[in-house]
Amino acid sequence: MSFTGIVSIALGAILIENFIFSQFLGICPFLGVSRKVDTALGMGLAVTFVMGLASVFCWLVNTLLLVPLGLTYMQTVAYILVIAALVQFVEMFLKKSIPGLYQALGIYLPLITTNCAVLGVVLLNTQKNYDFLSSLVYGITGGIGFLIAIVLFASVRERLDLTADCPRSFEGFPIALISAGLLALAFMGFSGLKVF
Amino acid sequence: MTNVWLAVAVLGGLGAFFGLLLAISSKVFYVKTDERIEKVASCLNGANCGGCGYAGCSAYAAAIVEDGAPIDRCTPAGQEGVKGIAAVMGVDAVEMARMVAFVHCSGGDKAQVKYAYHGIRDCAVAAQAIGGGQRSCAYGCLGYGSCVASCRFGALSIVDGVAKVDPEKCQGCKACVETCPKHLIDLIPYGFEGAVPCANTDKGGITRKVCESGCLGCHLCEKFCPHNAIHVVDNLSVKDYSKCQNCGICAEKCPRKLIYMPHMDLTKRPGA
């Protein structure tokens, strides 16, 4: 895997094919945990962490188990199993070994067990026939794209709460959905970006 | 047909493998927690207000059990909570003094306005505007209600352009104390409504020009207080709650009728 290849995967995952704004994966935490910038940051970091790990482990399961046995049609169910077990294991491991990180990620870790962005990244890895390194890079940078999107959106929502000029019927969730749409439109601008 | 059995075996095997892995790791990575932490946490209010100085109720409970933190910090749970924690921890219950928030400003619409402010209606933003906000008094309440938004107990409201605390609803969590960009709010013992609602330390003449409701630092309250409980510091009258007996003489003598006592006729206040 060449360096330019890695850069193009990273830029693609962060900007051009952002998981939230152009693939519309992981919308649930994007809307649910974006009221404050610091909670959004915690969620984004947890998702990045799990997406990176899940990419690695699902690649291993796929290449070493499913492909040799000709069971690739069971990818989705096997990946769900791997992700769920992985998140549980990571939570226990962090609680014992790195309590600081456990405190920081805290309640967000179990929340993302069934996040569709995590399942999405591993399925896309298989679909695009990525090798080990590419899968890892795609997983982590996809998570970073999620992190950027949710933190941007949370800071927009914090500002929205302060301005009283919003029409009564749009207050709260409706205006949040509209601003999410505008942010997605802005990210569409990256779709013309050519990488190498 | 063999394919089906292979699929069942692989998926079952994966499931069994992960199940075993999780079972083993739950033993290997078991973290011993003191069961008293949960019992102590159940005695607390559970609002996670942070008034105790810890990150939340469970953090405070852990600090009580593990580090021997003082048990009387949870104002929302009150004396009942202290009793409960004392029973769990096997220590004597201590008396706790209930503290409530008090806004050291009564200006609001009674203070002069130096310019029309059209920015974001939030105190933290408005306080950064030219001259520290739209009011002529640089010390006073801006009235945009950031403290009201920060209160989880609905104890604050904006009345006539100035924040007011309902001492019955206030739980003393200090959320508003930290929110107010003008640092106007602090905690006073419950029942001492007669604190001085002004924070202006300018000389009397200047204060008089900018606000109908400002303390001039005239020393009358200090002279007449029989308990030596009120003093003028930097042109501003400040009460010492450890000495105050709530007699109300300062309230009667105050020429601006600033200090409010529950038995007073409020209609005699300036601008009322």
- Please give the pLDDT value at position B270: 45
Q: Which of A85, A96, A162 sits opposite B21 (nearest CB)?
A: A85
What distance in Å separates the CA atoms of residue A31 and residue A64, rounded to the nearest whole number? 37
Encoding tokens for residue A151?
């933190």
Chain B residues lying within 8 Å of A66, measured CB to CB = 10
CB contact under 8 A, A96 and B30: yes
What distance in Å separates the CA atoms of residue B181 and residue A62, rounded to the nearest whole number? 56
Q: Which of residues 20-39 of B touch A (CB under 8 A)?
A: 21-22, 25-26, 28-31
Encoding tokens for residue A79?
């990946």
Q: Which of residues 110-129 of B touch A (CB under 8 A)?
A: 120-122, 125
Chain B residues lying within 8 Å of A89, measured CB to CB = 21-22, 25
Q: If you ran DSSP here, which 8-state letter would residue B93 be given?
A: P
Chain A residues lying within 8 Å of B22, measured CB to CB = 85, 88-89, 92
Q: Is A97 exposed, middle or buried (0-12, 13-18, 19+ CB in 10 A)?
A: exposed
Longest dimension (CA), chain B: 101
Chain B residues lying within 8 Å of A163, measured CB to CB = 120-121
What distance in Å separates the CA atoms of residue A137 and residue A7, rounded to the nearest whole number? 9
- Our CA-based measurement puts residue B22 at a distance from the nearest CA of chain A, in whole angstroms, of 6
What distance in Å separates the CA atoms of residue A26 and residue A114, rounded to the nearest whole number? 10
Chain B residues lying within 8 Å of A71, measured CB to CB = 6-7, 10
Report the residue of A65, A81, A97, A103 to disrupt the B interface, i.e. the one with the largest count of B CBs within 10 Å: A81
Phi and psi angles of residue B178, each rounded to the nearest 5 degrees, phi first: -80, -25
CB contact under 8 A, B120 and A77: no
Q: With bands split at pLDDT 50, 70 and 90, how would you rate the model's confidence at A196?
A: low
Question: Which chain B residue is nearest to residue A88, measuring alpha carbons?
Answer: B22
CA-CA-CA-CA dihedral for B182, B187, B193, B198, to nearest 10: -20
Cα–Cα–Cα angle for B258, B263, B269, nearest 5°?
A: 30
Chain B residues lying within 8 Å of A81, measured CB to CB = 11, 14-15, 18
3-state secondary structure chain A: CCHHHHHHHHHHHHHHCCCCCCCCCCHHHHHHCCCCHHHHHHHHHHHHHHHHHHHHHHHHHHHHHHCCCCCHHHHHHHHHHHHHHHHHHHHHHHHHHCHHHHHHHCCHHHHHHHCHHHHHHHHHHHHCCCCHHHHHHHHHHHHHHHHHHHHHHHHHHHHHHHCCCCCHHHCCHHHHHHHHHHHHHHHHHHHHCCCC
Instruction: Tell me chain A's radius of gyration from C-alpha atoms.
Output: 18
Chain A residues lying within 8 Å of B3, measured CB to CB = 70
CB contact under 8 A, B11 and A163: no
Q: What residues of A are in the B interface, CB distance below 8 Å?
A: 61, 65-66, 69-71, 74, 77-78, 81-82, 85, 88-89, 92-93, 95-97, 159, 162-164
CB contact under 8 A, A162 and B122: yes
Question: Lowest mean pLDDT: which of A64-68, A160-164, B114-118, B222-226?
Answer: A160-164
Q: Does B14 touch chain A (CB under 8 A)?
A: yes
- Please give the pLDDT value at position B131: 80
Query: What is the value of pTM for the model shown?
Result: 0.64
Give the residue among B68, B78, B80 at the shortest CA–CA distance from B173: B78
Cα–Cα–Cα angle for B39, B40, B45, nearest 5°?
A: 110
pLDDT greater at residue A80 or residue B247: A80
SS3 at position B9: helix
Encoding tokens for residue B104?
């050291």
Q: Is the sign of the CA dihedral A101, A103, A108, A110 positive or negative?
A: positive
Please report, rounded to a whole number, the percentage of residues in chain A having pLDDT higher than 90: 31
- Our CA-based measurement puts residue A190 at a distance from the nearest CA of chain B, in whole angstroms, of 32
Q: Which of A74, A85, A92 sits opposite B11 (nearest CB)?
A: A74
Q: Tens digit of pLDDT per residue, chain B (272 long)?
A: 678 888 898 889 999 999 998 899 888 887 777 788 888 888 887 777 777 777 778 888 888 888 888 887 787 787 888 888 888 888 877 777 778 888 999 888 888 888 888 888 888 888 888 888 888 888 999 999 899 988 888 899 998 889 988 888 888 888 899 889 999 998 888 877 678 889 998 888 888 888 888 899 889 888 988 888 889 988 899 888 888 887 888 888 888 888 876 655 544 444 44
What distance in Å separates the CA atoms of residue A104 and residue A109, rounded to the nearest whole number? 10
Q: How many CB pairs under 8 A join A and B?
A: 52
What distance in Å separates the CA atoms of residue B123 and residue B268, rounded to the nearest whole number? 30
- Please give the pLDDT value at position A152: 94
- Please give the pLDDT value at position A154: 92
CB contact under 8 A, B10 and A65: yes
What distance in Å separates the CA atoms of residue B89 and residue B36, rounded to the nearest whole number? 8
- Our CA-based measurement puts residue A105 at a distance from the nearest CA of chain B, in whole angstroms, of 15
Longest dimension (CA), chain A: 61
Q: With bands split at pLDDT 50, 70 and 90, how would you rate the model's confidence at A121?
A: very high
Q: If you ran DSSP here, which 8-state letter would residue B227 be given?
A: T
